[in-house]
Amino acid sequence: MISRIKRTPYFFIGLLMLPIASSFSTYSHSSFHTSPSFPSTLLSRSVLKQTTAALQENTVSLQWTEFYNTDQDNTPVLLLHGLLGSKRNFASLASSLGAQLEKQRRIVGVDLRNHGDSEWSDQMSYTAMAQDVLEFLKEQNIDKVILVGHSMGGKVAQAMSLLYPEKVEGLVVIDIAPVAYSRTDPHWKAVEDILHAIHAVDIVEATSKTEVDKLLRPTIPDPALRAFVLTNYDSRKKGWKIPVGTIVEELESIAGFDVPADTTYIGDVFIINGGQSRFVRHSYMDQIADFFPNHMLTTIRGAGHWVHAEAPDDTIALLRRYLDR
């Protein structure tokens, strides 16, 4: 059963008329601009883009992989992973999605800075990470892209669409809001506790991944979560593949959202969140609407923060409806 709140943006009407699983509930919001001129938004982007030269000096080259290719000339999809993740997190979903789309699209995933195979940096602001994505698009000669981002990657995708809207044809955000999370919030504190646990192991001479797993068990009792964390451990080098200390130091930036509040992206935005997660709350709706006036929020009941991993079939079904609309 779909529940609709407020008005539905025109581009979503066809989406909502399709049959949809009973595990979904939907919130939609529309607040159309009637003037083509947005002085405050343009001013904010102008001020930000004056710092582009400084950002470019610290741009990180992103490693990438192509999950799906096609001869069709539709706008490609770029997948952005979450904190402690990598491009590999989307491998299964991307392959299945590519094969099921009616509008065939190239699907690519990248490793964000300080993750996977990409270079390291001592900065993790969202404006800086959005600049990395912009440079990647230039390197790949990609004119426009549809961004799909989870968690931290969802914030990068939101920052990219707000700062460089001319490069973003569409945006799907998975279980994250464009807000500065309180570091005392229990859900965010749980994230920080995981990072601090990993950092503590970083200075311990562990001889194997099994030993690291044992060291993490008291702080991270969930075996699936530990397995996810351990994808960042290099057994050969007996150390982390990522700069854990830097990430811990940058937790304030990662919890935050350093995009000016008066910027707006008027493209189509689809937000998918997990019903058991607390990263997208009712109290954030006004802020989401200010940034993204043409958005729809859909909840997959029973899923937690790792929506695409916990409910892959539902996530693919929703992505198909958005990408094939």
8 Å CB contact between 119 and 243: no
CA distance 63 to 18: 37
8 Å CB contact between 317 and 289: no
This prediction's pTM? 0.86
4 pLDDT higher than 80 = no
8 Å CB contact between 255 and 249: no
The predicted pLDDT at position 29 comes to: 45
The predicted pLDDT at position 236 comes to: 86
The predicted pLDDT at position 58 comes to: 85
Residue 54, helix vs strand vs coil: helix
Centre a 10 Å sphere on the Cβ of residue 184 and count the other Cβ atoms it contains: 8
Tell me: the pLDDT tens digits for 152-178? 999 999 999 999 999 999 999 999 999
Task: List the alpha helices (DSSP H) in 21-69.
Answer: 39-49, 52-57
Confidence of residue 296 (pLDDT cuts 50, 70, 90): very high
The predicted pLDDT at position 201 comes to: 85
What's the chain's average pLDDT?
86
Q: What percent of the chain has pLDDT over 90?
A: 74
Confidence of residue 208 (pLDDT cuts 50, 70, 90): confident
CA distance 57 to 128: 10
The predicted pLDDT at position 55 comes to: 58
Tell me: the pLDDT tens digits for 6-65? 333 434 433 443 334 445 555 444 432 323 334 445 545 555 555 555 556 689 999 999
Confidence of residue 134 (pLDDT cuts 50, 70, 90): very high
Q: What percent of the chain has pLDDT over 70?
A: 82
Confidence of residue 291 (pLDDT cuts 50, 70, 90): very high
CA distance 41 to 38: 5
The predicted pLDDT at position 79 comes to: 99
What is 10-180+256-323's CATH topology? Rossmann fold (3.40.50)
For the residues 308-314, what does the mean pLDDT come to?
96
CA distance 78 to 157: 9
The predicted pLDDT at position 212 comes to: 92
| Domain residue ranges of the chain, discontinuous segments joined by + | 10-180+256-323, 186-251
The predicted pLDDT at position 162 comes to: 98
C-alpha closest to that of 313 among 120, 100, 168: 100
Q: Report helix angle 39-49 to 152-163, nearest 10.
A: 110
Tell me the CA distances in angstroms from 244 to 48, 135, 194, 207, 305, one per residue in order.
29, 25, 11, 18, 21
The helix (run of H) or strand (run of E) holding residue 307 is helix 307-310
C-alpha closest to that of 308 among 226, 213, 228, 190: 228
8 Å CB contact between 300 and 272: yes
Phi, psi (deg, nearest 5) at residue 115: -140, 150
Residues marked as catalytic: 151, 305
CA distance 240 to 233: 4
Task: List the alpha helices (DSSP H) in 140-283.
Answer: 152-163, 186-202, 209-216, 223-229, 244-249, 251-255
For the residues 250-255, what does the mean pLDDT come to?
97
Tell me: the pLDDT tens digits for 61-87? 999 999 999 988 999 999 999 999 999
